[in-house]
Amino acid sequence: MHYILALILAVWAPLAAAQDWEDQRLFEGAAGSPVLRVLSNTDTSFFVPIIESFLAENPDVSVAYNVTGSAELYDIFRANPAGFDVVISSAMDLQFKLTNDGFALRVDGTGHPAWAQWRDSLFAFSTEPAAIVINRAAFAGLATPASRQDLIQALRARPDVFANRIGTYDVRASGLGYLFATQDARASETYWRLTEVMGSLGAQLYLGSGAMIDDLASGKIAVAYNVLGSYAAARDDVRDKIEVILPLDFPTLMMRSAFVAKATDMPVAGAAFIRHLTSGQTQTALPPLDRSGQPAITLDPALMTYLDRLKRRVFIQEWESAIIQ
Amino acid sequence: MTEGVRVVGSLRNRLALTLIAGAAVLAVLLYFVVRSYAAQIAQQGQDSILGASVTSILDTAVLRDGMVEVDFPYASLAMLGTDTDDRVFYAIYQDGALLSGYDGLARVDGFAAGTYDGTPVRIATAQRMLAGAQSRTQVTVSVAQTQDRLAETLGGIGRNVAVVGAGFFGLVVLLAFWATSSAIGPLARLTTSVTRRGPQDLRPVISPVPSEMVPLVSSLNNLMARLDQSLNRSEDFIAEAAHRVRTPLATVRSHAEITLQRVDREENRQALRAMIRAIDESSRAAGQLLDHAMITFRADHLDRQDLDLGALVSDLAVRLTPVADMRDVELRVTSREAVHVAGDPILLQNALRNLVDNALKYAPRETVVEIDVTDTPAAVTIRDHGPGFAPDEMAGLSGRFVRGRNAQGIIGSGLGLTIAKEVAAAHGGALVLDNHPKGGACITFSL
């Protein structure tokens, strides 16, 4: 599939031309209507219903939907802030930094709750968990791990089964993977022990959740850690092969967010798109905003902590020494 | 009362305006002082958080293998979260060179205001020396935050202080009106008490007054005392003069009468008659001047007695009947029953005699002068069948020494009506001059 990228590819991908989209699609409105350029790291399939209902309400615009990885998205947009009108990403920290650095346009009067927006500029519109996903066949006859601790024990108990069959994000190249990893590390030391165990068993590193789910379904890997739960839950085709586990010890909940670029020349259409996105009226496979259960990662300046060059250098060093053995 | 007095402003307005203007100045001052004080405190609040953030970052700076590592905690930036979502910028420098964070933040020591990305920010900066095995290096950390929260806090405080200031001002305005009326009160009371006095009342003001009014009131008392004295003196003088003139006049008159008996030439007799007539007139005037002086004195010290007005009028009529008979005029008194009044008998007699005298003088021969005494209100109405008053003169006739046009050839001084009027006024009554619809003068003397 188009978004499956090998680890090798991933390493040089950020260096490649910015126009190497994972997916690119034009949703046409009225003939000759101006094009709202959307930069996103969300798979097109989740956004088709959203964009189609948006176009039904706003027939005088077209929408160009460009998909790329969360880290690349950040680089692409920073290099060309006027090149896109709406930016959507699951990497909350990068989105936050773009907003803090003044790249986002204010959209007033959305009535969006304060905890799900920042400066009336960055708007969260879904709450999605990081999950442990397992291949049902590999765990046949065994108890499914309910927490990270359970997973560590399961991996240690059967190194022969799991050697080179564990998948997780390459936090160096994936913005969302880095966010999940840093938030896990903040929450508990368990993360580092789990990473060391995964490293000792030769973990496979991925750029996106989609690839991990594909490999889980095919049986190439038996378990994957910090997979986007929403992506896994949306895959009807592999439902009988994989199982999604939300760890009980502590949850890592991310909010997908969007903003209108400050340099846009379509501020009205951009604001309309944000309002449409935050209205919660659209039927899509993305889970809605939810604050009823455990707290999600909050939108506040601390999100920029691990984006600091020195902090990142230290974190990546530690991560590499744990995962690459 | 106020005509002829030049008015320059108003004490009450001046006082109220001064108080209100003072309150306005104070309210504005209060607004700015409290607001700037609040701004200071709010700024201190922001500074202390920025300072804590800087310290927490700087504390984690270590020198490892010659490299500076700053593994600052999540809380360093988390503590900068505000409900107005203020933007946060930070920078970490090693010996002045940017190591990490935002380039272009103003380099200042301590706390300072600045701008970043076109937005006003508050910047906190601190530094620290790190010593390694071979080298020493200085790490500087700056943390900046936009001031939306501060502006919002100040806006809220500003609104509250404005409301408090306006309330304060409103209260002071009310207070100013109250204070001015209470300050002006004694002046108004003095005015009322002086205004309400009778025309002859020149007694000093004795009710207590505030100290500020003492000079005014003592001057006023002084003035009134001098006025009283000078009035008394002139009345005394007139009475004395009239008395002194009357006796020699009587002597002159008797000599003139004797001479008239002796003289035969008609022209000399006429001259003597004219002389006697002039003497009579002077004598009567002197008598009335004395009467008037007496009335002026007695009016201030009324000797009220319970008496029957009807009986008093009847007595008077009896005494004047010879005079009436001389002129062929009938005096007709109608008094149905006793009319009891409290009055000074001498004054009333004098006044009524003057009125009846007048009626007799102007009544044509063979006519009746009707005197009616009525009760509730006690009044005496005297009507003759003479020419009556000229309508245009009626209002001024009771003034001193004023005589009507039709008085030519009739002896009189012009004081009779004045006396009657003053006696009526001293008793709280009035003298009304009128013409009877069927002809003749009609005077009502009421008490």
B47 by Cβ neighbours in 10 Å (0-12 / 13-18 / 19+) ranks as middle
Residues of A whose CB is below 8 A from B83: 114
Which residues in B324-366 belong to E strands, given as ranges?
329-335, 340-343
Cβ–Cβ gap A308/B100 under 8 Å: yes
Residues of A whose CB is below 8 A from B71: 310-311, 314
Cβ–Cβ gap A310/B71 under 8 Å: yes
Asked if B241 and B233 touch (Cβ cutoff 8 Å), the reply is: no
Could you tell me which of A30, A21, A19 has the C-alpha nearest to residue A269?
A30
**Whole-prediction pTM:** 0.70
Helix (H, G, I), strand (E, B) or coil at A310: helix
> Mean pLDDT, to the nearest integer, of B83-93?
95
What is the Cα–Cα distance from B109 to B11, expressed in whole angstroms? 59
Q: Residue A5: what pLDDT?
A: 39
Does A301 touch chain B if contact means CB atoms closer than 8 Å?
A: yes
For domain B22-155, give its CATH number from 1.10.3470, 3.30.450, 1.20.120, 3.30.750: 3.30.450
A75 by Cβ neighbours in 10 Å (0-12 / 13-18 / 19+) ranks as middle
Domains A7-127+255-297 and A128-252+309-323 share a fold: yes
Cβ–Cβ gap A101/B85 under 8 Å: no
Q: Which residue has the higher pLDDT, A19 or B248?
A: B248
Count H helices, E strands: chain A? 12, 12
Could you tell me which of B346, B362, B285 has the C-alpha nearest to residue B312?
B346
Residue with tokens 């090149």: A83
Does B76 touch chain A if contact means CB atoms closer than 8 Å?
A: yes
Q: Residue A1: what pLDDT?
A: 40
Q: Which residues of chain B from 84 to 123 reach within 8 Å of chain A, CB to CB?
A: 85, 87-89, 92, 99-101, 117, 119
The DSSP annotation for A102-140 comes to T-EE--------GGGEETTTEEEEEEEEEEEEEETTTTT
Q: pLDDT by residue (tens digit) across B203-247?
A: 888 888 889 889 999 999 999 899 888 888 887 887 788 778 878
Residues 6+ apart with CB under 8 A from B198: none
Q: Which of A102, A310, A314 sits opposite B92 (nearest CB)?
A: A310
Per-residue pLDDT band for B349 (boundaries 50, 70, 90) equals: confident
Which residues in A138-271 belong to E strands, given as ranges?
166-169, 204-206, 223-228, 242-245, 253-261
Residues of B whose CB is below 8 A from A305: 72-74, 76-78
Residue with tokens 């095919």: A218
- Nearest chain A residue to B75, by CA: A302
Q: Residue B446: what pLDDT?
A: 86
What is the Cα–Cα distance from A197 to A200, expressed in whole angstroms? 5
Q: Residue A17: what pLDDT?
A: 45
Q: Is the peptide bond before B364 cis (omega within 30 degrees of 0)?
A: no
Q: Residue B296: what pLDDT?
A: 76
Does A309 touch chain B if contact means CB atoms closer than 8 Å?
A: yes
The DSSP bridge pattern shows strands A23-27 and A62-67 to be antiparallel
What is the Cα–Cα distance from A67 to A69, expressed in whole angstroms? 7
What is the Cα–Cα distance from A90 to A226, expressed in whole angstroms? 13
Q: CA of B37 to nearest chain A CA: how many angstroms apart?
A: 28
What is the Cα–Cα distance from B113 to B169, expressed in whole angstroms? 35
- Nearest chain A residue to B80, by CA: A301
What is the Cα–Cα distance from B211 to B441, expressed in whole angstroms? 56
Q: Residue B408: what pLDDT?
A: 66
Query: Taking the alpha carbons of B407, B411, B412, B416 in that order, is the dihedral positive or negative?
Result: negative
Asked if A123 and A116 touch (Cβ cutoff 8 Å), the reply is: yes
Q: pLDDT by residue (tens digit) across B178-190?
A: 998 888 888 888 8
Residues of B whose CB is below 8 A from A314: 69, 71
What are residue B93's DSSP bridge partners?
B98, B140
Asked if B348 and B384 touch (Cβ cutoff 8 Å), the reply is: no
Conformation bin of residue A111: beta by default, left when phi > 0, alpha when psi is -120 to 50: left
Tell me the count of A-B CB pairs closer than 8 A. 58
In the numeric block, which tokens belong to residue B190? Answer: 């003095």
Residue with tokens 């920025």: B50
Asked if A168 and A225 touch (Cβ cutoff 8 Å), the reply is: yes
Could you tell me which of A225, A233, A167, A237 has the C-alpha nearest to residue A4?
A167
Residues of A whose CB is below 8 A from B116: none
Cβ–Cβ gap A118/B83 under 8 Å: no
The DSSP bridge pattern shows strands A122-135 and A253-261 to be antiparallel
Asked if A73 and A41 touch (Cβ cutoff 8 Å), the reply is: yes
- Nearest chain B residue to A120, by CA: B85
Q: Residue A15: what pLDDT?
A: 42
Domains B22-155 and B303-446 share a fold: no
CATH architecture, range A128-252+309-323: 3-Layer(aba) Sandwich (3.40)
> Please, where are the H alpha helices in B60-147?
75-78
Query: How many Cβ atoms sit within 10 Å of the Cβ of residue B191?
Result: 12
In the numeric block, which tokens belong to residue B90? Answer: 């930070």
The DSSP annotation for A50-83 comes to HHHHHHHH-TT-EEEEEE--HHHHHHHHHH-TTS
- Start-to-end Cα distance in chain B: 27
The CATH number of the domain covering residues in A7-127+255-297: 3.40.190.10
Taking 70 as the threshold, does the pLDDT of residue B330 lie above it? yes
Residues 6+ apart with CB under 8 A from A303: A92, A93, A96, A97, A297, B77
pLDDT in tens, chain A (325 residues): 444 434 334 434 444 444 689 999 999 988 889 999 999 999 999 999 999 999 999 999 999 999 999 999 999 999 999 999 999 999 999 999 999 999 999 999 899 999 999 999 999 999 999 999 999 999 988 889 999 999 999 999 999 999 999 999 999 999 999 999 999 999 999 999 999 999 999 999 999 999 999 999 999 999 999 999 999 999 999 999 999 999 999 999 999 999 999 999 999 999 999 999 998 777 777 898 888 877 889 999 999 999 999 999 999 999 999 998 7
Helix (H, G, I), strand (E, B) or coil at A245: strand
- Nearest chain B residue to A116, by CA: B85
Q: Residue B77: what pLDDT?
A: 96
Q: Residue B234: what pLDDT?
A: 80
Residue with tokens 């905003």: A289
Does B81 touch chain A if contact means CB atoms closer than 8 Å?
A: yes
Residues 6+ apart with CB under 8 A from B275: B256
Q: Is the ipTM of this complex over 0.85?
A: yes
- The full set of domain ranges for chain B reads 22-155, 200-301, 303-446
Could you tell me which of A122, A166, A300 has the C-alpha nearest to residue B81?
A300
- The full set of domain ranges for chain A reads 7-127+255-297, 128-252+309-323
Cβ–Cβ gap A311/B72 under 8 Å: yes
Q: Residue B411: what pLDDT?
A: 66
For residue A90, report the phi and psi dihedrals to the nearest 5 degrees: -90, -15
Could you tell me which of B353, B292, B288, B286 has the C-alpha nearest to residue B324?
B353
Cβ–Cβ gap B85/A308 under 8 Å: no
Q: Which of B74, B117, B119 sits opposite A305 (nearest CB)?
A: B74
What is the Cα–Cα distance from A63 to B369, expressed in whole angstroms? 123
In the numeric block, which tokens belong to residue B82? Answer: 């505000």
Could you tell me which of B292, B441, B253 has the C-alpha nearest to residue B363?
B441
- Return the CATH class of domain B303-446: alpha beta
Q: pLDDT by residue (tens digit) across B409-445?
A: 676 667 788 888 888 888 888 888 888 888 888 888 8
Q: CA of A285 to nearest chain B CA: how many angstroms apart?
A: 30
At B406, which amino acid appears?
N
Does A304 touch chain B if contact means CB atoms closer than 8 Å?
A: yes
- Nearest chain B residue to A307, by CA: B101
Cβ–Cβ gap B70/A118 under 8 Å: no
Q: Residue B284: what pLDDT?
A: 81
Q: Which of B71, B83, B88 sits opposite A301 (nearest CB)?
A: B88
Residues of B whose CB is below 8 A from A303: 77
- Nearest chain B residue to A311, by CA: B71
- Nearest chain B residue to A187, by CA: B74
Cβ–Cβ gap A310/B76 under 8 Å: no
Residue with tokens 């012009």: B414
- Start-to-end Cα distance in chain A: 30
Candidates A310, A312, A315, partner chain B, best to mutate (most B CBs within 10 A): A310
A218 by Cβ neighbours in 10 Å (0-12 / 13-18 / 19+) ranks as exposed
Does B74 touch chain A if contact means CB atoms closer than 8 Å?
A: yes
Q: What is the mean pLDDT of chain B?
A: 87
